[in-house]
Structure 1
Amino acid sequence: MDILEQIKSEYPNYNSTRKRIASFILENPTRCCFLSLKEFAEEARSTEVTVLNFCRSLGLGRYVELKKALQSHVLIWTRPADRMKALASRSSDSNELFDQVVKSEQKALRSTFEHNGPKQILSFIQMIRKARRVFVAAHGASRIFSSVITYRLSLLGVDISELDMDNPHKTIFRLLSCNPEESLLIAIATPPYGKNTIATTRMCRSRGISVVTITDSTLSPLVSMAETALICPTELMGLTNSPTSIMAIIDIIAVLFLAEKQEDEFSHQEDLAQQYEHYLKLFNSEL
Structure 2
Amino acid sequence: MSREFGKPAVPMLPASAIVAERIAAAYPELSQALRTFADFVLAEPLRIARMSINDTVAASGVSVATANRFARTIGFDGYAQFRQELIRGFESVLSPDDRLKRKLSEESTAREVLVASLEEDIENLKATILNLDDERCAQAVTMIAQARKIFIIGFDRAGSLAELLANGLELAGCNVRMVENAGGAAGAARQLYRFGDEDLVISIAFPRYLKDTVELTHYVRQRGLRVLAITDNQNSPLAAFGDLTLYVRAARQYSSTSDTAILGLIEALIAGVTHQCRAVAGELADAYLDFSYPWLSTPRGGGNGG
Q: TM-score w.r.t. structure 1 length?
A: 0.63
Partner of 1:174: 191
Matched position secondary structure for 2:174? coil
Partner of 2:304: none
Per-residue CA shift, 1:83-123, capped at 9, x if unaligned?
87974553332233234223321221121111123321221
Q: Which amino acid in structure 2 is aligned with residue 191 of structure 1?
A: P
In structure 1, distance between residues paired with 2:51 and 2:104: 29
In structure 2, distance between residues paired with 1:204 and 1:110: 32
State the aligned residue count: 214
User: Taking every aligned residue pair, what percent have the same amino acid on both sides?
Assistant: 21
Cα drift, residue 215 of structure 1: 0.9
Partner of 2:84: 58
**Range with greater deviation from structure 2 (161-170 or 205-214):** 161-170
Q: Which amino acid in structure 1 is aligned with residue 133 of structure 2?
A: G
Do the aligned residues in 2 keep the contact of 1:91 with 1:97 (CA within 8 Å)?
no
In structure 2, distance between residues paired with 1:6 and 1:94: 34
Match runs of 1:1-287 below 5 Å: 5-6=48-49, 8=51, 58=84, 72-75=93-96, 87=103, 90-164=106-180, 166-178=183-195, 180-237=196-253, 239-262=255-278
Matched position secondary structure for 1:112? helix
Q: Which amino acid in structure 2 is aligned with residue 143 of structure 1?
A: G
Per-residue CA shift, 1:152-204, capped at 9, x if unaligned?
000010001112374333222211123x1121100001112111111211221
In structure 2, distance between residues paired with 1:95 and 1:168: 41
Cα drift, residue 125 of structure 1: 1.1
Matched position secondary structure for 1:186? strand
Do the aligned residues in 1 keep the contact of 2:100 with 2:253 (CA within 8 Å)?
no
In structure 2, distance between residues paired with 1:55 and 1:97: 36
Matched position secondary structure for 2:234? coil
Normalized per residue, the structure richer in helix is 1
Q: Which amino acid in structure 2 is aligned with residue 170 of structure 1?
A: G
- C-alpha change, 1:156 and 1:69, in structure 2 (3 Å) is same
Do the aligned residues in 1 keep the contact of 2:172 with 2:280 (CA within 8 Å)?
no
**Range with greater deviation from structure 2 (153-162 or 233-242):** 233-242
Do the aligned residues in 1 keep the contact of 2:92 with 2:208 (CA within 8 Å)?
no
- C-alpha change, 1:70 and 1:262, in structure 2 (3 Å) is closer
Question: Please, which runs of 5 or more residues in structure 1 have no aligned partner?
Answer: 13-53, 266-287
In structure 2, distance between residues paired with 1:55 and 1:107: 35
Do the aligned residues in 2 keep the contact of 1:198 with 1:222 (CA within 8 Å)?
yes
In structure 1, distance between residues paired with 2:145 and 2:201: 12
Do the aligned residues in 2 keep the contact of 1:127 with 1:184 (CA within 8 Å)?
yes
Matched position secondary structure for 1:181? coil
Matched position secondary structure for 1:182? coil
Do the aligned residues in 2 keep the contact of 1:146 with 1:162 (CA within 8 Å)?
yes
Q: Which amino acid in structure 1 is aligned with residue 157 of structure 2?
A: A
Per-residue CA shift, 1:224-279, capped at 9, x if unaligned?
000111111212126432111111111211112122223899xxxxxxxxxxxxxx
Do the aligned residues in 2 keep the contact of 1:3 with 1:70 (CA within 8 Å)?
no
- C-alpha change, 1:90 and 1:72, in structure 2 (3 Å) is farther
